[in-house]
Amino acid sequence: MINEALIQNIEDYLKTKFKPKSHRLKHIYNVKKVAVTLGNLYKVDIPSVVVASYLHDITKHETLEENRCLAGSLINEETPEPCYHAFAAANVAKDLFGIKNQNILNAIKYHCSGRYNQSLLEKIIFVSDFIEEGRDFVSADLRQLAITDLDMCIYKIMLQTKAYITKNNQEFSKLTQAAINYYEKIYGGINDWYFKNSIWNIS
C-alpha cells in the first residue's frame, strides 16, 4: 500500500543511492515534477505517479549484466539492452519496496520503450522521462503537446527516438515499433522535423 511512510522511505533510499550521481537524482525529481503536473491534468492517482517516477531509473547505474540479472524473465532476446534497466527497476520496485500495483510496475517497466495500449499512468511516466526540464533537446512544442494531446506527444517522441536509434545503427525496440504502427493508423505518418533531426541524447 502506498502511504507517506513508503514514499519517505523511497526518498531516503534515492538520496543515499544517488549521492555520487546527483545528475540522476535531479533527473528523477524533474520527472516527478512534470509527471505530477500531468497526473493532475489527466486525473491519475498522484501517489502512483510519484512512486513510478521515483523508481523508474533505480537501477540505471548498475552494469548491463546486473540489470540483465535483476530483470530476469521480464526480458527476452527482443529486449534492447538500453531498456534492461527499466525491466530491472520494475523487479526492484516489487522486491525491495513491495510495490504490488501492476499499473505502477508497468509504468516503470515500459518507461524506456513504451508499448502499444499503455495505461494513462504509463503514458505520463514515458512522456515525463523524455520532456523533463533537464532535457535541453526537447522543443517547447513537444512539451506543450504533452498537455494538449498526450498520444500525439508520445507518437512524436517515439518517432524522434526511432530516428536517433536508426541513425546510430542500434537495435530498435519492437514494443516501440508496435506502438508506432498503432499511432500511424490513427494519425497517419509524420514526415517532419522529428524524422530529420535527432541531435540529442537519451538516457
The CA distance from 101 to 10, in Å, is 16
Residue 82 CB, nearest approach to Fe ion (Å): 8
3-state secondary structure of 93: helix
Are 162 and 70 within 8 A, CB to CB?
no
Using CB under 5 A, which residues numbered 21 to 40 contact Fe ion? Answer: none
The residue among 87, 114, 80, 82 whose CA lies nearest residue 183 is 114
Residue window 78-117: x/- pattern of binding to Fe ion, with contact defined by CB under 5 A: ----------------------------------------
Among 91, 110, 129, 164, binds Fe ion (CB under 5 A): 129
Using CB under 5 A, which residues numbered 133 to 192 contact Fe ion? Answer: none
Kindly tell me which of 110 and 183 has the beta carbon lying closer to Fe ion: 110
Residue 180 CB, nearest approach to Fe ion (Å): 19
Residue 26 CB, nearest approach to Fe ion (Å): 11
Q: Confirm or reject binding of residue 122 to Fe ion (CB under 5 A).
A: no
The CA distance from 69 to 11, in Å, is 25
Kindly tell me which of 43 and 74 has the beta carbon lying closer to Fe ion: 74
The residue with cell 530529420 is 196
Residue type at 191 in one-letter notation: N
Using CB under 5 A, which residues numbered 42 to 71 contact Fe ion? Answer: 57
# binding residues, Fe ion (CB under 5 A): 2
Kindly tell me which of 122 and 129 has the beta carbon lying closer to Fe ion: 129
Burial of 4 (0-12, 13-18, 19+ CB in 10 A): exposed
Residue 138 CB, nearest approach to Fe ion (Å): 13
The CA distance from 166 to 85, in Å, is 21
Residue 56 CB, nearest approach to Fe ion (Å): 5
Residue 101 CB coordination number (10 Å):
18
Contact positions vs Fe ion (CB under 5 A): 57, 129
